[in-house]
A and B are shown apart, each in its own frame.
Chain A
Amino acid sequence: MKKFNPNKNIIITLIIVILVVTVLSVTIAKRAVGNSTNVVQSTVNDTMAIVDKVITAPIRWIESGANSVKNLFVTFEENERLKEKLDSYDELAQSNENYQREIDALKEELALNETLTNYDKISANVINRSPDTWQDMLVVDQGTKDGVEINMAVMSQKGLIGRVIEVNAASSKVELLTSENQNSNHFPVRISGEDGENFGILSSYDQKEKSLVITQLTGSSELKEGDVVQTSGLGGNSPADLAIGTVVSTTKDEFGLDTKVYVKPYAQMYDIQTVTIVKRLAGDE
């Protein structure tokens, strides 16, 4: 008969710990590199997405019902406000059309097919959101078969909200800008003020200020509150001119060398039902 050996438990624990650390490291590395997922992972995720869609459907139905009742109450006010705006709308639309025609003509002249501002759109519904607070992720219902690729920019109706971090055959995951993931790519941005442009990198999200933080600023023009922040299209993943937000304030970082710019995003990140995945056309890879 064998005697009970206390070392056995220690060895088992050690093996488990080593196993967990290995698996976690390998999967983190894989996610950071951004290869498409393997068959097993893709199938599991897609199947769960289908089940989740069934659960989402009645909840969405109730939500949209509540929303339409709420909308009913504000309709009158909104109508008044919109009427005022409508007067100038036709003129604006017409001049917009003229500009577009002029841009097309000029591009043809220069034999430019795709510039940094050209992009394709893929619309997707949000199925679920990660309940883990530190990984701000959405699961959406479009995947490789719809043309989604890793690192594409993702917009809501009002502005940029994140990027694609994992793609399966029929579903994918979107990492929001509010995420604290330190390993992911950052968006290159341009801040346009009255007297020029500054470039920087959208590096993190400040939970206290509820604003995005731009660092590594280059450019000499003065920053003012209300300056518009857009993607610059320089990084190679996102097209240019996607709206992000407006400048709220600037501070020096703790060493006094770099300027930190706080940006209030146009889009809210807590209630997203549909997203637009943006595919950059110029300079593919």
Chain B
Amino acid sequence: MKKHDYIKYISALFLFVMMLVDGQLTRLLEKWTQDNYIASAHVLLIALLCGARYLPRNFLIPTALVIGCLYDLYYIGLIGIYTVAFPLIVWIMYLLDKTIYQNIFTMFFGMIIFVTSLEIVTLSIQLLFKIASVNTSFFVSRFLAPTLLLNMILFFILVIPFMKLFKEE
């Protein structure tokens, strides 16, 4: 059996587990920084970025939709925040694939842009529906900066194993 045949099932399951790992990592880090800085881990987004290079578009966008929906249900109890953000970002990944996937550094900068846009999209949906409020200086200095730093580190640790996983033999 070629890897091509079953990689879809594995990657769907893998993305699901990454979603739960995101929660655990964020919780651990919050404990570690004692709530002074808030850094959200986005392992799932890094996995999607690596996946979008090799997996077919018609598979990954629906998968992102389902995962986003589960994410919303499990973590927030509403439907429509990450359900919108994840497929949207994956769609943009496919639109820009010629630019992003030239080498590992273009992927790195792509990751920074996608993490930022994920945060901004989800936050603006929540602000629009008045289920969150935030001030700008807090958002940039205590949240966005640590989040980006954390995800840069995670990216360099995880990008090679993730690419190996999704790569077709």
Contact = CB atoms under 8 A, between A and B. Distances in A.
Interface of A: 20-21, 23-25, 27-28, 31, 41, 44-45, 48-49, 51-52, 55-56, 59, 63, 128-135, 137, 139, 165-166, 173, 180-183, 207-208, 210, 268-271
Interface in B58-115: 70, 73-84
Contacts of A52: 20, 23, 74
B131 A44 contact: no
B125 interface: yes
B17 to A, nearest CB: 7
Contacts of B2: none
B95 to A, nearest CB: 14
Interface residues of B, number: 45
B100 to A, nearest CB: 23
Given A130-B23, A180-B132, A208-B138, A24 B70 contact: no
Contacts of A210: 35
A132 B26 CA distance: 9
Contact of A182 (B17, B26, B130): B130
Interface of B: 17, 20-28, 30-31, 33-35, 38, 40-41, 70, 73-84, 122-123, 125-126, 129-135, 138, 142-143
A23 B82 CA distance: 13
B40 A271 contact: no
Nearest to A63: B28
B78 A270 contact: no
A2 to B, nearest CB: 21
Contacts of B130: 182-183
Contacts of B30: 129, 270-271
B78 to A, nearest CB: 4
Q: Which secondary structure dominates where chain B touches chain A?
A: helix
Sort A-B residue pairs by CB-CB distance and give the 6 closest, nearest first.
A24-B80, A134-B132, A131-B26, A270-B35, A130-B75, A271-B31
Contacts of A134: 122-123, 126, 131-132, 134
B27 to A, nearest CB: 4
B81 A24 contact: yes
A268 B80 contact: no
B129 A28 contact: yes
Given A23-B80, A56-B24, A129-B23, A45 B73 contact: yes
A205 to B, nearest CB: 10
B83 to A, nearest CB: 8
A48 B41 contact: no
A128 B79 contact: no
Contacts of B78: 24, 27-28, 31
A135 B75 contact: yes
Given A28-B78, A130-B75, A137-B77, 11 more contacts: A20-B80, A24-B81, A27-B78, A28-B131, A128-B75, A131-B22, A131-B41, A133-B40, A180-B132, A208-B138, A271-B31
A25 B81 CA distance: 11
Nearest to A270: B35
Contact of B131 (A20, A129, A173, A183): A183
Contacts of A28: 78, 129, 131
9 contacts: A24-B80, A44-B70, A48-B73, A129-B23, A130-B23, A131-B22, A134-B132, A135-B131, A139-B74
A41 B134 contact: no
A44 B138 CA distance: 34
Contacts of A63: 28
A118 to B, nearest CB: 30
